[in-house]
Amino acid sequence: RSNGPLAGKKVVVTAGPTREHIDPVRFISNPSSGKMGFAMAKAAQNMGADVTLIHGPVTIEKPEGITTIEIESAQELFEQVQNHSDANVVIMAAAVSDFTPKETHQQKVKKDKADSSIQLKKTPDILSWLGDHKNDGQILIGFAMETENLLENAKDKLERKNADWIVANSLNDDDSGFASDKNKVHLLSKNDSIQIEGLKSEVARQVLSHIFKNS
Protein backbone atom coordinates (compact mmCIF):
# COMPACT_ATOMS: atom_id res chain seq x y z
CA ARG A 1 0.00 0.00 0.00
CA SER A 2 1.54 3.25 -1.13
CA ASN A 3 -0.71 5.32 1.13
CA GLY A 4 -0.36 3.47 4.47
CA PRO A 5 1.08 5.11 7.60
CA LEU A 6 4.49 3.58 6.86
CA ALA A 7 4.55 4.42 3.13
CA GLY A 8 8.03 5.42 2.00
CA LYS A 9 9.58 4.18 5.26
CA LYS A 10 12.33 1.61 5.45
CA VAL A 11 11.56 -0.92 8.17
CA VAL A 12 14.06 -3.57 9.28
CA VAL A 13 12.71 -6.53 11.24
CA THR A 14 14.83 -9.23 12.86
CA ALA A 15 13.25 -12.58 13.67
CA GLY A 16 13.88 -16.13 14.78
CA PRO A 17 16.66 -17.65 16.86
CA THR A 18 20.41 -17.44 16.43
CA ARG A 19 22.74 -20.42 16.46
CA GLU A 20 26.07 -20.23 18.21
CA HIS A 21 28.22 -23.08 17.00
CA ILE A 22 30.34 -25.18 19.34
CA ASP A 23 31.55 -27.28 16.41
CA PRO A 24 30.08 -27.99 12.91
CA VAL A 25 27.30 -30.20 14.29
CA ARG A 26 26.50 -28.62 17.66
CA PHE A 27 25.18 -25.23 18.64
CA ILE A 28 23.53 -23.18 21.39
CA SER A 29 20.11 -21.86 20.41
CA ASN A 30 16.54 -21.37 21.64
CA PRO A 31 13.03 -22.42 20.55
CA SER A 32 12.10 -19.17 18.75
CA SER A 33 9.86 -20.03 15.78
CA GLY A 34 10.17 -16.62 14.08
CA LYS A 35 6.37 -16.31 13.97
CA MET A 36 6.09 -13.02 15.87
CA GLY A 37 8.89 -11.34 13.89
CA PHE A 38 7.49 -12.55 10.56
CA ALA A 39 4.05 -11.24 11.62
CA MET A 40 5.63 -7.85 12.45
CA ALA A 41 7.27 -7.79 9.00
CA LYS A 42 3.96 -8.54 7.24
CA ALA A 43 2.09 -5.96 9.33
CA ALA A 44 4.69 -3.30 8.42
CA GLN A 45 4.39 -4.27 4.74
CA ASN A 46 0.60 -3.95 4.95
CA MET A 47 1.07 -0.43 6.32
CA GLY A 48 3.07 0.51 3.22
CA ALA A 49 6.64 0.04 4.47
CA ASP A 50 9.63 -1.14 2.48
CA VAL A 51 10.56 -4.11 4.68
CA THR A 52 13.82 -6.01 5.10
CA LEU A 53 13.52 -9.13 7.23
CA ILE A 54 16.76 -10.47 8.72
CA HIS A 55 16.19 -13.86 10.27
CA GLY A 56 17.79 -16.91 11.83
CA PRO A 57 16.98 -20.56 10.99
CA VAL A 58 13.18 -21.02 10.90
CA THR A 59 10.81 -23.45 9.20
CA ILE A 60 7.91 -21.06 8.56
CA GLU A 61 7.06 -19.73 5.10
CA LYS A 62 8.86 -16.70 3.68
CA PRO A 63 6.55 -13.70 3.31
CA GLU A 64 5.94 -12.56 -0.25
CA GLY A 65 7.25 -9.20 -1.40
CA ILE A 66 9.65 -8.83 1.51
CA THR A 67 13.43 -8.86 1.12
CA THR A 68 14.78 -11.57 3.40
CA ILE A 69 18.34 -12.06 4.62
CA GLU A 70 19.30 -15.26 6.40
CA ILE A 71 21.79 -15.25 9.24
CA GLU A 72 22.95 -17.85 11.70
CA SER A 73 24.93 -16.32 14.58
CA ALA A 74 24.37 -13.21 16.71
CA GLN A 75 27.55 -11.76 15.19
CA GLU A 76 26.17 -12.23 11.63
CA LEU A 77 22.88 -10.66 12.70
CA PHE A 78 24.78 -7.73 14.20
CA GLU A 79 26.68 -7.17 10.93
CA GLN A 80 23.49 -7.26 8.82
CA VAL A 81 21.68 -4.89 11.19
CA GLN A 82 24.64 -2.50 11.02
CA ASN A 83 24.48 -2.65 7.18
CA HIS A 84 20.80 -1.61 7.39
CA SER A 85 20.98 0.80 10.31
CA ASP A 86 19.80 3.68 8.11
CA ALA A 87 16.23 2.29 8.48
CA ASN A 88 13.47 4.58 9.75
CA VAL A 89 12.20 1.82 12.03
CA VAL A 90 14.03 -1.21 13.45
CA ILE A 91 12.05 -3.99 15.08
CA MET A 92 14.28 -6.37 17.06
CA ALA A 93 12.04 -9.42 17.40
CA ALA A 94 14.90 -11.91 17.06
CA ALA A 95 15.67 -14.14 20.04
CA VAL A 96 19.36 -13.34 20.03
CA SER A 97 21.56 -15.72 22.01
CA ASP A 98 23.19 -13.83 24.86
CA PHE A 99 26.25 -16.05 24.89
CA THR A 100 28.44 -17.72 22.29
CA PRO A 101 31.31 -20.21 22.72
CA LYS A 102 34.70 -18.51 23.13
CA GLU A 103 36.01 -20.89 20.55
CA THR A 104 34.25 -22.72 17.70
CA HIS A 105 35.93 -26.02 16.79
CA GLN A 106 36.44 -26.47 13.05
CA GLN A 107 36.02 -30.26 13.32
CA LYS A 108 33.47 -32.26 15.26
CA VAL A 109 34.59 -32.59 18.87
CA LYS A 110 35.14 -36.25 19.69
CA LYS A 111 33.43 -37.72 22.72
CA ASP A 112 36.63 -39.13 24.16
CA LYS A 113 38.49 -35.83 23.75
CA ALA A 114 35.67 -33.58 24.77
CA ASP A 115 36.24 -31.14 27.55
CA SER A 116 33.48 -31.24 30.14
CA SER A 117 32.98 -27.49 29.94
CA ILE A 118 32.39 -24.93 27.20
CA GLN A 119 33.70 -21.43 27.76
CA LEU A 120 31.26 -18.74 26.75
CA LYS A 121 31.52 -15.05 26.00
CA LYS A 122 28.78 -12.44 25.61
CA THR A 123 27.39 -11.62 22.19
CA PRO A 124 27.02 -7.98 21.14
CA ASP A 125 23.75 -6.44 22.33
CA ILE A 126 22.39 -5.30 18.97
CA LEU A 127 19.46 -3.29 20.31
CA SER A 128 21.77 -1.42 22.70
CA TRP A 129 24.12 -0.67 19.82
CA LEU A 130 21.20 0.72 17.82
CA GLY A 131 20.12 2.76 20.86
CA ASP A 132 23.62 4.22 21.12
CA HIS A 133 23.72 5.09 17.40
CA LYS A 134 20.14 6.23 16.91
CA ASN A 135 19.51 8.29 13.78
CA ASP A 136 17.30 11.37 13.76
CA GLY A 137 13.67 10.32 14.06
CA GLN A 138 14.53 6.62 14.04
CA ILE A 139 12.13 4.42 16.00
CA LEU A 140 13.55 1.37 17.81
CA ILE A 141 11.22 -1.39 18.92
CA GLY A 142 12.55 -4.17 21.13
CA PHE A 143 11.03 -7.33 22.52
CA ALA A 144 11.25 -8.72 26.02
CA MET A 145 10.38 -12.24 27.01
CA GLU A 146 10.40 -12.72 30.72
CA THR A 147 9.54 -15.43 33.21
CA GLU A 148 9.17 -13.02 36.15
CA ASN A 149 8.71 -9.28 36.90
CA LEU A 150 7.59 -8.71 33.30
CA LEU A 151 6.78 -5.01 33.39
CA GLU A 152 9.64 -4.04 35.66
CA ASN A 153 12.19 -5.82 33.47
CA ALA A 154 10.64 -4.46 30.27
CA LYS A 155 10.74 -0.89 31.58
CA ASP A 156 14.34 -1.37 32.58
CA LYS A 157 15.15 -2.71 29.10
CA LEU A 158 13.47 0.28 27.47
CA GLU A 159 15.73 2.69 29.35
CA ARG A 160 18.93 0.67 29.35
CA LYS A 161 18.83 0.00 25.61
CA ASN A 162 17.50 3.45 24.65
CA ALA A 163 14.58 1.86 22.78
CA ASP A 164 11.35 3.75 22.02
CA TRP A 165 9.02 0.81 22.56
CA ILE A 166 9.21 -2.62 24.14
CA VAL A 167 6.82 -5.44 23.33
CA ALA A 168 6.86 -7.55 26.49
CA ASN A 169 5.50 -11.02 26.79
CA SER A 170 5.47 -13.48 29.60
CA LEU A 171 6.61 -17.04 29.02
CA ASN A 172 4.29 -18.06 31.86
CA ASP A 173 1.10 -17.33 29.95
CA ASP A 174 -0.53 -20.33 28.37
CA ASP A 175 -0.99 -19.96 24.66
CA SER A 176 1.61 -17.29 24.07
CA GLY A 177 5.32 -17.10 23.49
CA PHE A 178 7.68 -19.13 21.39
CA ALA A 179 5.88 -21.52 19.05
CA SER A 180 2.27 -20.48 19.56
CA ASP A 181 0.17 -18.75 16.89
CA LYS A 182 -1.20 -16.49 19.59
CA ASN A 183 0.38 -13.94 21.85
CA LYS A 184 -0.45 -11.72 24.80
CA VAL A 185 1.77 -8.68 25.16
CA HIS A 186 2.24 -5.39 26.97
CA LEU A 187 3.37 -2.62 24.65
CA LEU A 188 5.19 0.07 26.53
CA SER A 189 7.06 3.29 25.97
CA LYS A 190 8.32 5.90 28.45
CA ASN A 191 4.81 7.17 29.13
CA ASP A 192 2.42 4.69 27.59
CA SER A 193 1.43 1.09 28.26
CA ILE A 194 -1.30 -1.05 26.70
CA GLN A 195 -2.13 -4.73 26.62
CA ILE A 196 -2.76 -6.53 23.34
CA GLU A 197 -3.89 -10.13 22.92
CA GLY A 198 -4.79 -12.31 19.95
CA LEU A 199 -3.31 -14.09 16.95
CA LYS A 200 0.29 -13.00 16.35
CA SER A 201 -0.80 -11.40 13.04
CA GLU A 202 -3.41 -9.33 14.89
CA VAL A 203 -1.06 -8.46 17.77
CA ALA A 204 1.55 -7.29 15.22
CA ARG A 205 -1.01 -5.13 13.42
CA GLN A 206 -2.23 -3.54 16.64
CA VAL A 207 1.30 -2.91 17.94
CA LEU A 208 2.21 -1.01 14.78
CA SER A 209 -1.12 0.84 14.56
CA HIS A 210 -0.68 2.00 18.14
CA ILE A 211 2.90 3.19 17.58
CA PHE A 212 2.23 4.87 14.23
CA LYS A 213 -1.35 6.01 14.84
CA ASN A 214 -0.47 9.67 14.31
CA SER A 215 2.00 9.32 11.47
| Angstrom distances, CA of residue 124 to CA of 15, 37, 74, 96, 175 | 16, 20, 7, 9, 31
**Among 36, 44, 144, 185, which residue interacts with ligand C5P (rule: CB under 6 A)?**
144
**Helical H runs in 68-108?**
74-83
Residue 30 designated active-site = yes
Using CB under 6 A as the binding rule, whether residue 74 contacts ligand C5P is answered as yes
CA-only gyration radius of the chain, Å: 17
With CB under 6 A as the contact rule, the residue among 27, 38, 143, 165 that binds ligand C5P is 143
Q: Which CA distances in Å does 206 have to 112, 114, 172?
A: 53, 49, 22
d(CA 204, CA 183): 9
- The count of residues in the chain is 215
When asked if residue 98 is in the footprint of ligand C5P (CB under 6 A), the reply is yes
Q: In the bound complex, what is the minimum distance in angstroms from residue 37's beta carbon to ligand C5P?
A: 9
Query: What residues contact 182, with CB distance under 8 A and at least 6 apart?
Result: 175, 176, 197, 198, 199, 200, 203
Q: Using the rule CB under 6 A, which residue among 23, 72, 76, 125 binds ligand C5P? A: 125
Question: Residue ranges for the binding site?
Answer: 98, 108, 124-127, 143, 157, 161
Query: Is residue 79 near ligand C5P by the rule CB under 6 A?
Result: no
Which of 3, 30, 135, 172 is the catalytic position?
30
Q: Which is nearer to ligand C5P, 34 or 142 (CB)?
A: 142
User: Whole-number minimum distance, CB 46 to ligand C5P, in Å?
Assistant: 22
Q: Applying CB under 6 A, which residues contact ligand C5P?
A: 74, 92, 94, 96, 98, 123, 125-127, 142-144, 157
